[in-house]
Amino acid sequence: MIIYGKQVCLYALTQHFNKIKTVYIANKSANSKDVLPKDLFHKYHDKIKFLEDKWAKSMCKGGNHQGILVEIDDLTQTSFNNIKQSDFILVLDGLTDVGNIGAIVRTAYALGVDSIIMTGVNNLNLSAITRTSSGAMLDMDFMINKNILDHINELGQLGFVFYGAMMDGIDINKLEFNQKRVLVLGNEGDGISKKITKKLNHKVSIEMKHEFNSLNVNSAGSILIHRMSYAVK
């Protein structure tokens, strides 16, 4: 898997030494110290390769590589047996935009979500999500499951309470949350799918101070995750 951009690459190089295969620095004539701190340059000296900028752009398909790309081990999905040991699970239902998903993963990891299940999709660009999450995806337990209903039923039997973000829900600030909890976020077009809506224990929303349709899923998810991280029974 190739990731690119200084922030995510420096995070990977700092936190995940054993997963790094190759470090690519664009423009051999450029000062490598402008791309890598001295300690990381020496640490990865044997794995560094220089390449022309045109090849760097090709590897990141025209994205802004900021002078550095890293080949890293592919992400490994977490088994459901491990995910169900969590306290706080986030379900992303039908989300496909890697920018939104990455931003949500970053917030989720920072605020203590234990694991993420992505459902309603066949596959996702995990490299792009890793980049847009600023590397948080490298440390987040996750799985992709197109049909999650069996897992929802099992989690319910284990005592998990399901909270779904919906416009007609109860104000998030008026609730306390079960220790074993699942937050479901739907995509901005269709919201949470009907089959998952039927499994929710509670619908939750964010009270607006001014008349406005809604926040985008990233902004709403950040507020809901923060509240559910601290207002636990």
The DSSP code sequence of 32-75 is: GGGTS-HHHHHHTGGGEEEE-HHHHHHHTTT---TTEEEEEPPP
* Res 197 pLDDT > 90: yes
Q: Sorting pLDDT into bands at 50, 70 and 90, what band is 210? A: confident
Nearest by Cα to 73 from 126, 148, 146? 126
Amino acid 70 reads V
- Intervals of CATH 3.40.1280.10 along the chain: 80-230
- In tens, the pLDDT along 95-140 reads 999 999 999 999 999 999 999 999 998 889 999 999 999 999 999 9
Nearest by Cα to 75 from 45, 29, 116, 36? 116
Q: What is the pLDDT of residue 188?
A: 79
Question: How would you write 71-122 as a 3-class SS string?
Answer: EECCCCCCCHHHHCCCCEEEEEECCCCHHHHHHHHHHHHHHCCCEEEEECCC
Q: What is the pLDDT of residue 181?
A: 97
Domain 80-230 has what CATH class? alpha beta
- In tens, the pLDDT along 3-48 reads 999 999 999 999 999 999 999 998 754 555 678 888 999 999 999 9
- Intervals of CATH 3.30.1330.30 along the chain: 2-72
Q: What is the pLDDT of residue 146?
A: 82
* Average pLDDT, integer, range 47-54: 90
Nearest by Cα to 3 from 95, 129, 103, 144? 129
CA distance 44 to 42: 6
Q: What is the pLDDT of residue 31?
A: 55
Q: What is the pLDDT of residue 35?
A: 84
Fold of 2-72: 60s Ribosomal Protein L30; Chain: A; (3.30.1330)
Give 203: exposed, middle or buried? Use CB within 10 Å, 0-12, 13-18, 19+.
middle
CB atoms within 10 A of CB 231: 13
CB atoms within 10 A of CB 207: 9
CA distance 172 to 7: 33
* Average pLDDT, integer, range 184-202: 92
More confident residue, 9 or 189: 9
Q: Sorting pLDDT into bands at 50, 70 and 90, what band is 213? A: low
DSSP code for 148: -
- In tens, the pLDDT along 141-184 reads 999 998 899 999 999 999 999 999 998 889 988 988 999 999 99
Strand 141-145 to strand 115-119: parallel, antiparallel, or no bridges (unpaired)? parallel
Q: What is the pLDDT of residue 96?
A: 92
Q: What is the pLDDT of residue 33?
A: 61
